[in-house]
Amino acid sequence: MNRKSRRAGVTEGSLDTASFLKTADLFIDVANRQNKKIKATDLQMAFLYAAARYNAFVAKHVINVEKHEEFVEKMVKEYQEMLRQNLADEELGRPSD
């Protein structure tokens, strides 16, 4: 598949798997840089708060979620699955300097 075909297959503004992981890596890079100055346990909570804050914004102002509790339950399940997958990942190692 050439680049033009790949681009045609991607909905503008949405993420395919490779783009999703590349975008996530940007946030991980920020965390790794901040971790040089901030304890990992404090930093993880700041990132979790930031994710919750951003998700609340998207829920309220982008997708207009009316049933907040249903959305919370859905997001909790998504987070649990992502966390389980990452904890099980044998290739997850220490961040490089």
How far is C-alpha 26 from the geometric centre of its chain's CA atoms? 10
DSSP for 41-65?
Answer: HHHHHHHHHHHHHHHHHHHHHTS--
Residue 68 has pLDDT above 70, yes or no: yes
Residue carrying the six token digits 């959305």: 71
- Give the pLDDT score at 94: 67
pTM: 0.75
5-62 pLDDT, tens digit each: 555 544 557 889 999 999 999 999 999 999 999 999 999 999 999 999 999 999 999 9
Tokens of 93: 């190692």
**DSSP 8-state class, residue 1:** -
Tokens of 19: 């783009």
- Give the pLDDT score at 15: 87
pLDDT level of residue 97 (50, 70, 90 thresholds): very low
